[in-house]
Amino acid sequence: MRNVLYSLLILGLLFSCGPKDGQQDLGASEFQTALTAESKAQILDVRTAGEFQGGHIEGALNADVSSESFQQVASSLDKDKSVFVYCLSGARSASAAGMLQEMGFKSIVNLTGGMLAWQSANLPVVTGEAKPAGSAGLTEATFAEKIKGKPMVIIDYNATWCGPCKQLSPILKEWVKAQNGKVELIEIDVDENQELAKAKKIEAIPYLEMYKNGVKTWSSVGLIGKEELDKSLRD
Protein backbone atom coordinates (compact mmCIF):
# COMPACT_ATOMS: atom_id res chain seq x y z
CA MET A 1 0.00 0.00 0.00
CA ARG A 2 2.83 2.35 0.90
CA ASN A 3 4.51 1.70 -2.50
CA VAL A 4 1.24 2.45 -4.32
CA LEU A 5 0.84 5.77 -2.50
CA TYR A 6 4.46 6.66 -3.25
CA SER A 7 3.95 5.94 -6.97
CA LEU A 8 0.82 8.09 -7.07
CA LEU A 9 2.69 10.95 -5.38
CA ILE A 10 5.52 10.79 -7.95
CA LEU A 11 3.03 10.78 -10.84
CA GLY A 12 1.27 13.80 -9.35
CA LEU A 13 4.54 15.73 -9.08
CA LEU A 14 5.50 14.92 -12.66
CA PHE A 15 2.22 16.19 -14.04
CA SER A 16 2.15 19.30 -11.85
CA CYS A 17 5.69 20.31 -12.94
CA GLY A 18 5.04 19.83 -16.65
CA PRO A 19 4.00 22.53 -19.14
CA LYS A 20 0.56 24.05 -18.69
CA ASP A 21 -2.08 22.04 -20.51
CA GLY A 22 -3.12 23.74 -23.74
CA GLN A 23 -0.40 26.43 -23.66
CA GLN A 24 2.62 26.72 -25.96
CA ASP A 25 5.49 29.17 -25.54
CA LEU A 26 7.11 29.90 -28.91
CA GLY A 27 9.98 32.11 -30.05
CA ALA A 28 9.38 34.78 -32.69
CA SER A 29 10.07 32.67 -35.81
CA GLU A 30 8.08 29.69 -34.55
CA PHE A 31 5.24 32.00 -33.49
CA GLN A 32 5.08 33.49 -36.99
CA THR A 33 5.12 30.03 -38.58
CA ALA A 34 2.24 28.91 -36.36
CA LEU A 35 0.33 32.10 -37.20
CA THR A 36 0.78 31.54 -40.93
CA ALA A 37 -0.46 27.97 -40.66
CA GLU A 38 -3.64 29.04 -38.85
CA SER A 39 -6.62 30.09 -40.97
CA LYS A 40 -7.98 33.44 -39.71
CA ALA A 41 -5.76 33.35 -36.64
CA GLN A 42 -7.05 34.90 -33.41
CA ILE A 43 -4.33 37.26 -32.17
CA LEU A 44 -4.40 39.26 -28.94
CA ASP A 45 -2.02 42.15 -28.27
CA VAL A 46 -2.37 42.62 -24.50
CA ARG A 47 -0.40 45.88 -24.27
CA THR A 48 -1.82 49.37 -23.83
CA ALA A 49 -3.58 51.21 -26.66
CA GLY A 50 -0.58 53.52 -27.07
CA GLU A 51 1.83 50.60 -27.42
CA PHE A 52 -0.52 48.92 -29.89
CA GLN A 53 -0.77 52.01 -32.07
CA GLY A 54 3.02 52.29 -32.13
CA GLY A 55 3.38 48.96 -33.88
CA HIS A 56 1.70 45.56 -33.72
CA ILE A 57 1.37 42.24 -35.52
CA GLU A 58 -1.02 42.45 -38.45
CA GLY A 59 -4.49 41.16 -37.64
CA ALA A 60 -4.08 41.51 -33.87
CA LEU A 61 -6.85 42.76 -31.59
CA ASN A 62 -5.86 45.10 -28.78
CA ALA A 63 -6.94 43.82 -25.35
CA ASP A 64 -4.99 45.53 -22.56
CA VAL A 65 -4.58 42.80 -19.92
CA SER A 66 -4.66 45.42 -17.14
CA SER A 67 -8.06 46.79 -18.21
CA GLU A 68 -11.66 45.59 -18.30
CA SER A 69 -11.49 45.45 -22.10
CA PHE A 70 -9.38 42.29 -21.92
CA GLN A 71 -12.29 40.13 -20.72
CA GLN A 72 -14.66 41.76 -23.21
CA VAL A 73 -12.41 41.22 -26.25
CA ALA A 74 -11.34 37.71 -25.21
CA SER A 75 -14.98 36.68 -24.66
CA SER A 76 -15.74 37.48 -28.29
CA LEU A 77 -13.24 34.87 -29.54
CA ASP A 78 -13.80 31.19 -30.36
CA LYS A 79 -12.57 29.15 -27.38
CA ASP A 80 -12.23 26.03 -29.52
CA LYS A 81 -9.67 27.70 -31.82
CA SER A 82 -6.07 28.65 -31.02
CA VAL A 83 -5.50 32.15 -29.66
CA PHE A 84 -2.11 33.80 -30.15
CA VAL A 85 -1.10 36.22 -27.40
CA TYR A 86 1.80 38.65 -27.00
CA CYS A 87 2.97 41.82 -25.21
CA LEU A 88 6.26 43.74 -25.24
CA SER A 89 8.59 41.24 -23.56
CA GLY A 90 6.43 38.25 -22.61
CA ALA A 91 5.55 38.99 -18.97
CA ARG A 92 2.05 40.38 -19.48
CA SER A 93 1.19 37.81 -22.15
CA ALA A 94 2.13 35.00 -19.75
CA SER A 95 -0.40 36.41 -17.26
CA ALA A 96 -2.95 36.80 -20.04
CA ALA A 97 -2.43 33.16 -21.07
CA GLY A 98 -3.33 32.05 -17.56
CA MET A 99 -6.49 34.18 -17.63
CA LEU A 100 -7.44 32.74 -21.01
CA GLN A 101 -7.06 29.21 -19.63
CA GLU A 102 -9.39 30.08 -16.78
CA MET A 103 -11.88 31.39 -19.34
CA GLY A 104 -11.89 28.00 -21.06
CA PHE A 105 -9.61 28.49 -24.07
CA LYS A 106 -8.17 25.12 -25.10
CA SER A 107 -5.15 26.23 -27.17
CA ILE A 108 -3.05 29.28 -26.28
CA VAL A 109 0.18 30.24 -28.03
CA ASN A 110 2.35 32.74 -26.15
CA LEU A 111 5.10 34.76 -27.87
CA THR A 112 8.26 34.37 -25.78
CA GLY A 113 10.09 37.70 -25.65
CA GLY A 114 7.07 39.56 -27.05
CA MET A 115 7.38 42.40 -29.55
CA LEU A 116 11.00 42.97 -28.56
CA ALA A 117 11.87 39.48 -29.86
CA TRP A 118 9.54 39.89 -32.87
CA GLN A 119 11.19 43.15 -33.94
CA SER A 120 14.69 41.82 -33.25
CA ALA A 121 13.91 39.03 -35.72
CA ASN A 122 12.94 41.74 -38.28
CA LEU A 123 9.41 40.36 -38.61
CA PRO A 124 6.68 42.61 -40.06
CA VAL A 125 4.93 45.22 -37.92
CA VAL A 126 1.95 47.42 -38.79
CA THR A 127 0.84 50.63 -37.06
CA GLY A 128 -2.57 51.83 -35.98
CA GLU A 129 -3.38 55.52 -35.71
CA ALA A 130 -0.73 57.94 -36.94
CA LYS A 131 1.70 59.01 -34.25
CA PRO A 132 3.44 62.39 -33.98
CA ALA A 133 6.80 62.71 -35.66
CA GLY A 134 9.68 61.67 -33.48
CA SER A 135 7.49 59.51 -31.21
CA ALA A 136 9.70 56.48 -31.91
CA GLY A 137 12.19 58.13 -29.58
CA LEU A 138 15.96 57.74 -29.70
CA THR A 139 17.76 56.24 -32.68
CA GLU A 140 21.24 54.72 -32.61
CA ALA A 141 22.61 58.02 -33.89
CA THR A 142 20.86 60.20 -31.30
CA PHE A 143 21.78 57.71 -28.58
CA ALA A 144 25.45 57.99 -29.58
CA GLU A 145 25.18 61.78 -29.31
CA LYS A 146 23.56 61.44 -25.89
CA ILE A 147 26.56 59.59 -24.41
CA LYS A 148 29.25 61.38 -26.43
CA GLY A 149 32.00 62.95 -24.34
CA LYS A 150 30.88 61.30 -21.11
CA PRO A 151 33.61 59.32 -19.28
CA MET A 152 31.32 56.75 -17.70
CA VAL A 153 27.60 56.18 -18.25
CA ILE A 154 25.27 53.39 -17.15
CA ILE A 155 22.10 52.97 -19.22
CA ASP A 156 18.95 51.57 -17.64
CA TYR A 157 16.46 50.24 -20.23
CA ASN A 158 13.07 49.85 -18.54
CA ALA A 159 9.30 50.22 -18.84
CA THR A 160 6.63 51.61 -16.50
CA TRP A 161 4.80 48.25 -16.28
CA CYS A 162 7.97 46.20 -15.54
CA GLY A 163 8.06 44.97 -11.92
CA PRO A 164 11.77 44.02 -11.83
CA CYS A 165 12.58 47.43 -13.38
CA LYS A 166 10.84 49.16 -10.48
CA GLN A 167 12.78 47.00 -8.01
CA LEU A 168 16.09 47.74 -9.69
CA SER A 169 15.62 51.52 -10.01
CA PRO A 170 16.27 52.51 -6.35
CA ILE A 171 19.20 50.08 -6.11
CA LEU A 172 20.71 51.57 -9.24
CA LYS A 173 20.18 55.18 -8.17
CA GLU A 174 21.70 54.54 -4.74
CA TRP A 175 24.70 52.82 -6.35
CA VAL A 176 25.25 55.68 -8.83
CA LYS A 177 25.05 58.22 -5.98
CA ALA A 178 27.74 56.25 -4.09
CA GLN A 179 30.12 56.69 -7.06
CA ASN A 180 30.39 60.41 -6.22
CA GLY A 181 29.85 61.71 -9.73
CA LYS A 182 32.08 59.21 -11.53
CA VAL A 183 29.11 57.48 -13.19
CA GLU A 184 26.11 59.12 -14.86
CA LEU A 185 22.77 57.30 -15.01
CA ILE A 186 20.57 57.51 -18.11
CA GLU A 187 17.13 55.88 -17.97
CA ILE A 188 15.48 54.84 -21.24
CA ASP A 189 11.87 53.62 -21.50
CA VAL A 190 11.77 50.95 -24.23
CA ASP A 191 8.10 51.68 -24.96
CA GLU A 192 8.96 55.27 -25.81
CA ASN A 193 12.17 54.35 -27.68
CA GLN A 194 11.17 51.32 -29.71
CA GLU A 195 13.48 52.07 -32.63
CA LEU A 196 16.51 52.04 -30.34
CA ALA A 197 15.30 48.88 -28.54
CA LYS A 198 14.94 47.14 -31.90
CA ALA A 199 18.38 48.28 -33.10
CA LYS A 200 19.97 46.97 -29.91
CA LYS A 201 17.98 43.71 -30.11
CA ILE A 202 16.70 44.10 -26.56
CA GLU A 203 14.51 41.08 -25.79
CA ALA A 204 14.16 41.38 -22.01
CA ILE A 205 14.19 44.10 -19.38
CA PRO A 206 15.56 45.45 -17.13
CA TYR A 207 18.63 45.66 -19.35
CA LEU A 208 21.75 47.61 -18.34
CA GLU A 209 24.75 48.82 -20.34
CA MET A 210 27.96 50.52 -19.20
CA TYR A 211 29.79 52.88 -21.55
CA LYS A 212 33.27 54.29 -20.96
CA ASN A 213 34.16 57.17 -23.30
CA GLY A 214 31.48 56.04 -25.73
CA VAL A 215 32.53 52.37 -25.81
CA LYS A 216 30.29 49.69 -24.34
CA THR A 217 32.23 47.69 -21.74
CA TRP A 218 29.51 45.77 -19.88
CA SER A 219 25.87 44.70 -20.06
CA SER A 220 23.42 42.79 -17.89
CA VAL A 221 19.86 41.48 -18.18
CA GLY A 222 17.51 41.16 -15.21
CA LEU A 223 17.42 42.25 -11.60
CA ILE A 224 20.92 42.54 -10.09
CA GLY A 225 22.53 43.83 -6.88
CA LYS A 226 25.35 46.20 -5.93
CA GLU A 227 28.05 43.51 -6.28
CA GLU A 228 27.21 43.00 -9.95
CA LEU A 229 27.11 46.79 -10.44
CA ASP A 230 30.55 47.08 -8.87
CA LYS A 231 31.74 44.50 -11.44
CA SER A 232 30.64 46.87 -14.25
CA LEU A 233 33.35 49.31 -13.16
CA ARG A 234 36.07 46.65 -13.31
CA ASP A 235 35.17 45.26 -16.76
At 23, which amino acid appears?
Q
Strand-by-strand arrangement of the 207-212 sheet: 184-189, 152-158, 207-212, 215-221
Burial of 88 (0-12, 13-18, 19+ CB in 10 A): buried
**How far is residue 175's CA from residue 198's CA, in Å, rounded to a whole number?**
28
Question: What is the total residue count of the chain?
Answer: 235
Whole-number Cα distances in Å, 46 to 131, 167, 175: 20, 23, 34
The catalytic residue positions are 162, 165
